[in-house]
Amino acid sequence: MAEFVSEMATTLLHEGIHAEIFKYVNDHQGDIDPEDRTNLLYYYFYYKSDNSNSLETIYAQHQYMADNYIIPIAKTIRLLDNNRYDLEFYLAFAWEGLIKYGYDGYYDNGEWKSLTKEENSQCYENKKQVNNTTDFGSDCISLN
């Protein structure tokens, strides 16, 4: 149950960021200030071109999320788990749905980085430890 609840919390954060990005772009169509959202406009144009000018924007959003939201998502899941472990233990939660962009490269405080397979493996070992020991969600009503 705890793993389901933590995965659900991660998914809600991830999808909420998508909604916020869609809202931002919709509110500023043709009027986006790239200084306001570093790299967002670039990714939209890059991936739109990469996708034969289709309306697909998911790649741009995921790259933007990898650049800007890994640490905030990890911090939020850590907070929900009562800060039981160091932040590194919660990074795999944040990388869910974004791992391709970690391998391909992302910006971390303005520095271009790439995840290694070893770092990814360690992230998921840490995640397993969190899920196996957490009581997060134990007060939720069972769906059974």
pTM of the model: 0.69
102: number of Cβ within 10 Å: 20
- Provide the pLDDT for residue 87: 95
Q: Residue 79 has what pLDDT?
A: 93
Residue 9: what pLDDT? 85
pLDDT of residue 55: 41
Cα–Cα distance list, 50 to 25, 37, 45, 53, 54 (Å): 19, 21, 8, 7, 9
pLDDT along the chain (144 residues), means of 10: 73 83 68 56 58 57 84 93 94 86 75 83 91 79 54
Taking the C-alpha atoms of residue 85 and residue 78, their distance in angstroms, rounded to an integer, is: 7
- Would you state the pLDDT for residue 45? 60
